[in-house]
Structure 1
Amino acid sequence: MKKVVLAYSGGLDTSYCVVYLTRELGLEVHTVIVNSGGFSEEELAAIEKRAYELGSAKHEVIDVTQRFYQDCLRYLIFGNILKNDTYPLSVSAERMFQSLALAEYAREHKADYIAHGSTGAGNDQVRFDVAFSVIAPHTEIITPIRDQKLSRQAEIDYLQRNGVEMSWEKAKYSINKGIWGTSVGGVETLTSNQALPESAYPTQLSETKPSTLEITFEKGEPVALNGKTMSPVALIQALNELAGTYAIGRDTHVGDTILGIKGRVGFEAPAPLILLKAHHLLEKHTSSRWQLLHKDYIANWYGTLMHEAQYLDPVMRDMEAFLTSSQERVSGKVFVTLKPYQFELQGIESKYDMMRSKVATYGEENDAWDGRDAKGFIKIFSNQLRIHSSFNDEN
């Protein structure tokens, strides 16, 4: 039997793929789930059990959490990257690292085929296929959902005909869970006017009493939560759990797909949204105006290229070098208050706080210059505007 490595998540699409690849194509299916930090041990065990029940010959878990943070997430934090000022690239970034890990696995195990459950309408198909074609160019790609143009209901009907039982109500929603956020797609996100129901979100509101937390950054990286030092990965996971109880981080993203069409998806990303906004606030206090200005467009390009499957392009390494350099003094504490469905940034403390400079501070009085200095500066500063305006008198 020929061997196929399947990018497996345990959801409807990949469940269909296991059954189809084994029963219709007669292939030996190796299901591989790439954990980027969003799954617990219990969830991984349940996914493995399900894979074997569906017909997987071998199931593997590849953990890329540390690699994902080190090679990607920290740069998203450095850049305060939110796609269209909304979306923290939860699936966009995660898919690239899942794709790379799967391609490396397929190449190492000399698989005949590599498969994924993407449709033909979205971005994921591009991310998977690009990584596979670069890392494992001699392995043929199979995409049952895309090639057969299947609806979710058609997949459900097929599985039912083949005696597969699962939670069909839950299968109405496509859920992708990762450390940097969970995306939620369903019938509502295919429209432009409907919101996802409360029940569609994996994490429900369970805490209503406001609380304030303290996040410590060191050179742009989160290193402590409420005074407790921990790894950035552990901190993100802890913050996801803590802020998730307040149902913080929910939103709906509308953007342009790689294929040139508009797409819409719901998501919950409590830790990413809090960390990005907290980091940005700290940066505004500790970075120069020109650093902030140039970081904006470089970060925007970095996020766009990541979103559009260009992670392997060398320009990404160039941008990462700039983003890393910009974080030299982005160190300090940020204070955040959590409330149901929202959070508030209270302020920062940092030895590099430029509002508390020994040279000059913002306020009604300033010892660094006097009124004559200010008047002279303003006169020179307005020179170009006055020169330009002078020609108006000739018309």
Structure 2
Amino acid sequence: MKIKVRVSHDEDTKYASLICKKIQESAKSRGTGIAKKDPEYIKSKMINGNAVIAFYDGKIAGFSYLEVFQKEEFVVNSGLIVFPEFRKKGLARIIKVEIFQLSRKKFPNSKIFSITTSNSVIKMNTELGFKPVTFSELPQSEEFWKGCQSCTNFDILTRNKRKMCLCTGLLYEKNSSDFMLIHGDRIVLAYSGGLDTSYCLKYLIQEEGYEVHTVIINTGGFQKKELKKIEERAFHIGAKSHKTIDSIEEFYQNCIKYLIFGNILKNNTYPLSVSSERIFQAIKIAQYATFINAKAIAHGSTGAGNDQIRFDIAFQIICPEKMTLSPIRENKISRKEEIEYLRNSGVSICWDKAKYSINKGIWGTSISGKETLTSSHDFPEKAYTTKLKRKKSENIELEFEKGELVSINKEKGKAIKNIIKLEKIASEFAIGRGIHIGDTILGIKGRVAFEASAAIIIIKAHHLLEKHILTKWQLYWKEQLSNWYGMLLHEAQYLDPVMRDIEMFLNSTQKRLTGTVHLILSPYRFHLVGIKSEFDLMKSNMAQYGEMNHAWTAEDVKGFTKILSNQMKMYHNL
């Protein structure tokens, strides 16, 4: 069985007489409806592309056309016919959707209406957003009413002075159903190639009938061959198109850099590996959806996590006119049910690999599975994506310039390349593993495993350098604002302007943050040895902590402590 419904053209005019015959036979059998159509009139509709024609296994099976009235104020979807031998196959709805979409495309500012006695057509129109209206809300031109003259019920219409008849008038006005999707609408799916988004892709195509365009935003962590496999899987499942967008440098410049400047570890543990990248993925996805003129954006988040909030908020701000779809959240479907659905639909995904949900990026990898759903179970070694390969300790030197990592072991490189290089070195020691327990945006507790060797090492090394270079009050206020920055980023508030304000402050604190940090890498851990910097405040000649000072006398200290304690003495003497 192969159904094809398309916009008609001049080669279809050979079917005009047959279509008119079928329309007449249908009206006669129903005892109502417009009984007669002129083949030449139908031909003109075909030639001008104002009709759709349906084929079933190569044979003509149905038809519908549109008419314009009152200087394009109104467009009517008319003449819907499915040949008797092809009925009860879903053709009528497909034809109706196609003629409706054609009307919206060619006459976007017109009111679309339909007038019919068919209950099934009324139902289809209602599902598309049409509303029943009185005849006074339909076109009042003589040209329109003239078309009713061949109907057997025309005398009823004239006796009631065109105020009522056996037909029901239905009207669709622009903006009356802006956020309704219909069969064939173009949508963009944020696609990672994993179980969740693969389920969404198949479901949206197979169950909803949408034209799905997949997109993946690479914020790091993907190799070219992995991206190629994701593209192949998207097309295999049925994506209309697939797009890979590289956003690694933008992600670094607009987020990772500030996570380093702020030494940000949520609950002093987790480097915000996933939560930091989601907002940038969402922004790029929204921009892409606008570029290809999609009506909706879909994502594979569940209803119990943080990512759904991050996606939804970004989409609402950047492209509020587009719908947001989340099949897993809306259908409340489990991972086991997803796998079963895909298998039944001819898409096989290895169950063992699907036991864990893995999100990999340049700033770390998060891993969740059955163990992270409990409070007591340890996370198994086999579930981590990197394994211990090196057991002999190794010295390493990191160089920072104005807070950014510029070299590893004296080899200069861009920050992104240095992060990737450090990750490759440190991951072989299985450094940077952990389990984060935190509060979700929704208010529930969440537990996730992660591995982020480069992120943890860079943040700790950077923080050590800051302790030597920044003043006490710089460190204090940096810590306060950095905590807020990390919290707001995690809570999907990245687009709030206060984030730009905090970034300006963080930039200011890094002006003198230049120097080298020496570390020792060992299996499962690392040790910060020390730093070298021309801005190291410990190099001051004024004094050495706990030893000798050269900048004040004993009497100076006595006077200082007397003044410093004034208010406390007042309090305790009352």
TM-score of the aligned structures, taking structure 1 as reference length: 0.97
Identify which range, 54-63 or 352-361, moves more after superposition: 352-361
Letter in 2 for 1:330: L
Instruction: Give the counterpart of 1:190 among 350, 355, 373.
Output: 373
Is 2:168 aligned against 1:168?
A: no
1:243-392 alignment, distance < 5 Å = 243-391=426-574
Give the aligned CA root-mean-square deviation in angstroms.
1.1
Matches of 2:565 and 2:501, distance apart in 1: 37
Instruction: Kindly indicate whether the alpha-carbon contact (under 8 Å) linking 2:339 and 2:349 is maintained by their aligned counterparts in 1.
Output: no
Instruction: Give the share of equivalent positions with the same residue, in percent.
Output: 57
Q: Deviations over 1:136-190 (max 9, x none)?
A: 1111111110001111111111111112122211101010000011000101111
Q: Deviations over 1:294-314 (max 9, x none)?
A: 111101111111111111111
Q: Deviations over 1:365-389 (max 9, x none)?
A: 1222233323332333233323322
> CA offset at residue 228 of structure 1?
0.9
1:1-395 alignment, distance < 5 Å = 1-391=184-574
Letter in 2 for 1:91: V
Matches of 2:522 and 2:338, distance apart in 1: 40
Letter in 1 for 2:348: E
3-state DSSP of counterpart to 2:537: coil
Q: Deviations over 1:328-355 (max 9, x none)?
A: 1111001111111111111100000001
Q: Any stretches of 5+ residues in structure 1 without a counterpart?
A: none
Letter in 2 for 1:314: P
Q: Any stretches of 5+ residues in structure 2 without a counterpart?
A: 1-183
Matches of 2:372 and 2:339, distance apart in 1: 19
Matches of 2:558 and 2:532, distance apart in 1: 33
Matches of 1:60 and 1:293, distance apart in 2: 44
Letter in 1 for 2:544: T
Q: Deviations over 1:118-137 (max 9, x none)?
A: 00001100000111111111
Letter in 1 for 2:381: E
| Runs of 4+ off more than 4 Å | none
Letter in 2 for 1:93: S
Aligned residues: 391
Q: Deviations over 1:88-116 (max 9, x none)?
A: 11111100000000000001110122100
3-state DSSP of counterpart to 1:318: helix
3-state DSSP of counterpart to 2:528: strand
Matches of 1:170 and 1:288, distance apart in 2: 49
Structure of greater relative contact order (alpha carbons < 8 Å, 6+ residues apart): 1
Matches of 1:35 and 1:79, distance apart in 2: 24
3-state DSSP of counterpart to 1:368: coil
> CA offset at residue 363 of structure 1?
4.1
Instruction: Kindly indicate whether the alpha-carbon contact (under 8 Å) linking 2:187 and 2:298 is maintained by their aligned counterparts in 1.
Output: yes
Instruction: Kindly indicate whether the alpha-carbon contact (under 8 Å) linking 2:426 and 2:521 is maintained by their aligned counterparts in 1.
Output: yes
Letter in 2 for 1:274: I
Matches of 1:362 and 1:218, distance apart in 2: 27
3-state DSSP of counterpart to 1:212: strand
Instruction: Kindly indicate whether the alpha-carbon contact (under 8 Å) linking 2:356 and 2:367 is maintained by their aligned counterparts in 1.
Output: yes
Q: Deviations over 1:247-280 (max 9, x none)?
A: 1111111111111111111111111100111110
Residue 125 of structure 2 is matched in structure 1 by none
Letter in 2 for 1:379: K
Letter in 1 for 2:311: F
Instruction: Kindly indicate whether the alpha-carbon contact (under 8 Å) linking 2:298 and 2:325 is maintained by their aligned counterparts in 1.
Output: yes
3-state DSSP of counterpart to 2:538: coil
Matches of 2:567 and 2:234, distance apart in 1: 70
Matches of 2:535 and 2:412, distance apart in 1: 20
Matches of 1:129 and 1:135, distance apart in 2: 10
Matches of 2:240 and 2:523, distance apart in 1: 45
Matches of 1:67 and 1:197, distance apart in 2: 34
Matches of 2:527 and 2:350, distance apart in 1: 37
Letter in 2 for 1:68: F
Matches of 1:204 and 1:50, distance apart in 2: 27
TM-score of the aligned structures, taking structure 2 as reference length: 0.67
